[in-house]
């Protein structure tokens, strides 16, 4: 009986130490990220200063101009140009996610089937480009895609085409760059779910006369499902706010949300509108992540109950 | 290399075509990088036709005063930000995995991961809004603060992974042998944790060195970082000295990632 209060005191002391440990991180992120987001909310509700920054006067113009344009007579007319950029971003991010999944799944399955001593190196080779500078990796595609680039020069040298193909500054180029950037994000989580898969499951399926395609669909795919969902989110979320690929490979004319936001703080000098756009983007990201977290939580409970 | 992708007998775990497809995938990952590195050694002015081997562009890059300045800025910021972030992340990793569970642990983990989860442009906008509101203009200081924040999760993850893999019984043994908590930490936990800390430090360093979007939002005149400088060059057009600089930066990143990988593999 006497041991209990002492244990409790000890427990409290350890909890306090833990709290001390995490406090610098919480202070840094609170002060330099969470407080700033609150300031962004404030900025989005203020008047734009034409020289950059904001005038500290309340205005809902930033949110109105997301969907409407103010006419000369001060009436509002529906304007879809920003809506189109937002939908484009969602479309490109969605398409990138689908393509990376189609590419990433077979690679992850193949990796998981490799002998354990080879896997480490093969996985490492997939992660190396991820750590290489994104700006430079995207720039490297310009060398391949432009009119006098490696692809056009080779095709013309082989006599396949007479005129260079317009590969750069197209939606296809932006898509290619994004898939290139995020494919490792899909391979790794799928691989992680398959890595510990019991090979005997595959033997069992094939002993029962399931073909390879059927084994893949009925055995491997269900096991990989959590990895597929994680990979899809890891691709879709950053793609929504992508800035470098549309800027370099899309030539700045094929804008996505990230570029539109950046413009508001550089040439356009409309900070409140940029702030409102940032909040819209953040809300979209949070929505996707919350959906994912709820789903994971539901599954945890379902498993715990069984 | 091809040998890695081929097998002689078709086993139960072999899916025909997946090996070939994976080989193409690795080709896709490395082709642009190989082309970039190759053209950085090209003797020709036009950056995309091969005419012969030369180191001219490296000489041109090293002679460029503005470029050296930008590289120096990037290094200074990356060294400061990654060290501060790693110190903060080490404490946080110890707090979230060694101490008792405390209320709000889940929320704390969420907050630490926040810079990783939010789109970079949003983090950039938020940081710019803060600095502009409080009128902070410390030059390098602004960038170091901004970089430290987004480096924290990158340093945190490998350190925490290391802590979770570590054998608790060693720390218990130390306590059984009458070592106090501080002595146990210094003599047992910390040395075992060191590879994780180095791994985190290196990842934070690369992430800081490579960052473009947030730096671009926050940087002021005189604190141009290397990625911002390169972006400026790219806007002017593709020139071969960009290839040389890019190759050097890629080399540094690959070196650090490899070191981090080897340290992470080291058995405790």
What would the pLDDT profile of B124-176 be if each residue is shown by its tens digit?
Answer: 999 999 999 998 888 889 999 999 999 999 999 989 988 888 877 888 888 88
A143: contact with B, CB 8 A cutoff: yes
Mark yes or no for CB contact A37/B216 under 8 Å: no
Residue of chain A whose Cα is closest to the Cα of B17:
A106
B57: contact with A, CB 8 A cutoff: no
Rounded distance between C-alpha atoms, residue B89 and residue B196, angstroms: 11
Of residues B184 and A211, the one with the higher pLDDT is B184
Token reading at A26: 């919480």
Q: Which CATH superfamily, name and number, covers B65-265?
A: MetI-like (1.10.3720.10)
Q: Residues of B with CB below 8 A from A175's CB?
A: none
Q: Where are the alpha helices (DSSP H) in chain B?
A: 18-40, 56-63, 65-97, 105-117, 120-134, 140-165, 168-176, 181-184, 190-210, 213-218, 226-236, 240-265
Please give the pLDDT value at position A95.
96
pLDDT band at residue A306 under the 50/70/90 scheme: very low
Mark yes or no for CB contact A262/B257 under 8 Å: no
Mean pLDDT, to the nearest integer, of A113-121?
87
Please give the pLDDT value at position B205.
92
- CB-CB contact of B93 with B185 (8 Å): no
pLDDT above 90 as % of chain A: 40
Rounded distance between C-alpha atoms, residue A249 and residue B34, angstroms: 19
Nearest one of B149, B159, B152, B104 to B128, comparing CA atoms:
B149
* A 190-219: CB under 8 A from B: 199, 202-203, 206, 212, 216
Q: Beta-carbon neighbour count of residue A2 at 10 Å?
A: 6
SS3 state of residue B53: strand
Mean pLDDT, to the nearest integer, of A82-109?
94
Average pLDDT, chain B: 85
Mark yes or no for CB contact B100/A32 under 8 Å: no
Q: What is the helix (H) or strand (E) element at residue A56, kind and residue range?
A: strand A54-58
pLDDT digits (tens, 9 = 90+) for A259-269: 999 999 988 88
Instruction: Please give the interface size between A and B, counted as residue pairs whose CB atoms are below 8 Å apart.
Output: 265
pLDDT band at residue A147 under the 50/70/90 scheme: confident
Q: Residues of A with CB below 8 A from B26's CB?
A: 125-126
- The residue of A11, A52, A123, A131 whose CB has the most chain B CBs within 10 angstroms, and thus the best one to mutate to test that interface, is A131
Please give the pLDDT value at position B245.
86
Rounded distance between C-alpha atoms, residue A33 and residue A250, angstroms: 30
pLDDT band at residue A304 under the 50/70/90 scheme: low
For residues B23-56, one letter each, b for 16 or more C-beta atoms within 10 angstroms of the residue's C-beta and e for the rest, the string is bebbeebebbbebbbebbbbeeeebbeeeeeeee
A64: contact with B, CB 8 A cutoff: no
Mark yes or no for CB contact B92/A22 under 8 Å: yes
For the cut 50, the answer to whether the pLDDT of residue B6 exceeds it is yes
Any idea where the domains of chain A sit in the sequence? 17-77, 81-305
* B 13-42: CB under 8 A from A: 13-19, 21-22, 25-26, 28-33, 35-36, 39
Report the complex ipTM. Answer: 0.86
Instruction: Out of A90-94, B41-45, B216-220, B248-252, give the one with best mean pLDDT.
Output: A90-94
A291: contact with B, CB 8 A cutoff: no
Backbone angles phi, psi at B53, to 5 degrees: -80, 140
Rounded distance between C-alpha atoms, residue A19 and residue B108, angstroms: 10
- The residue of A22, A51, A292 whose CB has the most chain B CBs within 10 angstroms, and thus the best one to mutate to test that interface, is A22
pLDDT digits (tens, 9 = 90+) for A211-221: 777 888 888 88
CA distance A125 to chain B (A): 8
Mean pLDDT, to the nearest integer, of B201-217?
92
Mark yes or no for CB contact A25/B88 under 8 Å: yes
CATH 1.10.3720.10 fits A81-305, yes or no: yes
Please give the pLDDT value at position B227.
92
pLDDT digits (tens, 9 = 90+) for B85-99: 999 999 999 988 876
B246: contact with A, CB 8 A cutoff: yes
pLDDT digits (tens, 9 = 90+) for B48-103: 567 778 888 888 888 888 888 999 999 999 999 999 999 999 999 998 887 666 67
pLDDT digits (tens, 9 = 90+) for A46-64: 988 888 788 888 988 889 8
CA distance A226 to chain B (A): 18
Task: Tell the residue number behind the tokens 């370099």, with chain if given.
Answer: A248
- A69: alpha, beta or left? (left if phi > 0; alpha if psi -120 to 50): beta
* B 170-199: CB under 8 A from A: none
Please give the pLDDT value at position B15.
79
Q: Residues of A with CB below 8 A from B206's CB?
A: 131
Q: Residues of A with CB below 8 A from B99's CB?
A: 14-15, 17-19, 21
Average pLDDT, chain A: 87
Rounded distance between C-alpha atoms, residue B136 and residue B124, angstroms: 15
């Amino acid at each position: 009986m006497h041991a209990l209060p002492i244990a409790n005191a000890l427990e409290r002391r350890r909890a306090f130490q833990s709290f001390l440990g995490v406090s610098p991180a919480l202070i840094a992120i609170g002060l330099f990220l969470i407080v700033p987001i609150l300031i962004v909310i404030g900025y989005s509700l203020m008047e734009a200063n034409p020289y950059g920054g904001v005038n500290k006067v309340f205005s809902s113009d930033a949110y109105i101009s997301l969907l409407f344009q103010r006419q000369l007579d001060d009436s509002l007319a529906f304007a879809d140009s920003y809506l189109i950029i937002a939908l484009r971003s969602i479309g490109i991010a969605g398409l990138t996610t689908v393509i990376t999944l189609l590419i990433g799944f077979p690679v992850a399955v193949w990796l998981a089937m490799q002998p354990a001593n080879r896997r480490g190196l093969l996985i490492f080779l997939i992660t190396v480009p991820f750590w290489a500078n994104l700006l430079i990796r995207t720039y490297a595609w310009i060398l391949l895609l432009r009119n006098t680039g490696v692809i056009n020069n080779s095709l013309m040298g082989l006599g396949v085409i007479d005129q260079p193909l317009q590969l750069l500054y197209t939606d296809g180029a932006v898509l290619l760059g994004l898939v290139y950037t995020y494919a490792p994000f899909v391979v790794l989580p799928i691989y992680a779910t398959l890595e510990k898969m019991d090979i005997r499951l595959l033997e069992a399926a094939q002993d029962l006369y399931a073909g390879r395609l059927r084994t893949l669909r009925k055995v491997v795919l269900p096991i990989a499902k959590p990895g597929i969902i994680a990979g899809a989110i890891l691709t879709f979320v950053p793609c929504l706010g992508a800035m470098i690929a549309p800027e370099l490979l899309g030539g700045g004319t094929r804008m996505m949300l990230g570029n539109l936001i950046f413009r508001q703080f550089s040439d356009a000098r409309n900070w409140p509108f940029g702030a409102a756009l940032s909040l819209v983007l953040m809300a979209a990201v949070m929505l996707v992540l919350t959906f994912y977290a709820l789903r994971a939580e539901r599954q945890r409970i379902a498993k715990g109950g069984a | 290399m091809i040998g890695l992708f081929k097998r002689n007998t078709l086993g139960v775990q072999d899916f025909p075509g997946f090996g070939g497809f994976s080989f193409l995938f690795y080709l896709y990952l490395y082709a642009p990088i190989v082309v970039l590195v190759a053209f950085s050694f090209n003797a020709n002015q036009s950056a995309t036709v091969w005419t012969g081997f030369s180191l001219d562009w490296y000489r041109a890059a090293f002679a460029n005063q503005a470029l050296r300045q930008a590289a120096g800025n990037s290094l200074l910021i990356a060294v400061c930000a990654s060290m501060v972030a790693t110190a903060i992340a080490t404490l946080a990793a110890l707090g979230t995995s060694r101490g008792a569970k405390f209320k709000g642990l889940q929320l704390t983990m969420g907050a630490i991961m926040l810079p990783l989860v939010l789109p970079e442009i949003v983090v950039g906008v938020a940081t710019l809004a803060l600095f502009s509101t409080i009128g902070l203009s410390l030059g390098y200081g602004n960038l170091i603060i901004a970089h430290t924040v987004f480096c924290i999760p990158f340093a945190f993850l490998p350190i925490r992974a290391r802590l979770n893999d570590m054998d608790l019984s060693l720390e218990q043994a130390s306590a059984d042998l009458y070592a106090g908590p501080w002595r146990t930490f210094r003599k047992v936990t910390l040395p075992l944790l060191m590879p994780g800390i180095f791994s985190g430090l290196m990842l934070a360093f690369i992430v800081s060195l490579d960052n473009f979007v947030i730096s671009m939002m926050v940087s002021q005149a005189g604190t141009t970082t290397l990625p911002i400088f390169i972006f400026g060059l790219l806007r002017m057009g593709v020139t071969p000295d960009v290839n040389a600089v890019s190759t050097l930066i890629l080399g540094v990143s690959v070196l650090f990632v490899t070191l981090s990988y080897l340290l992470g593999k080291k058995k405790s």
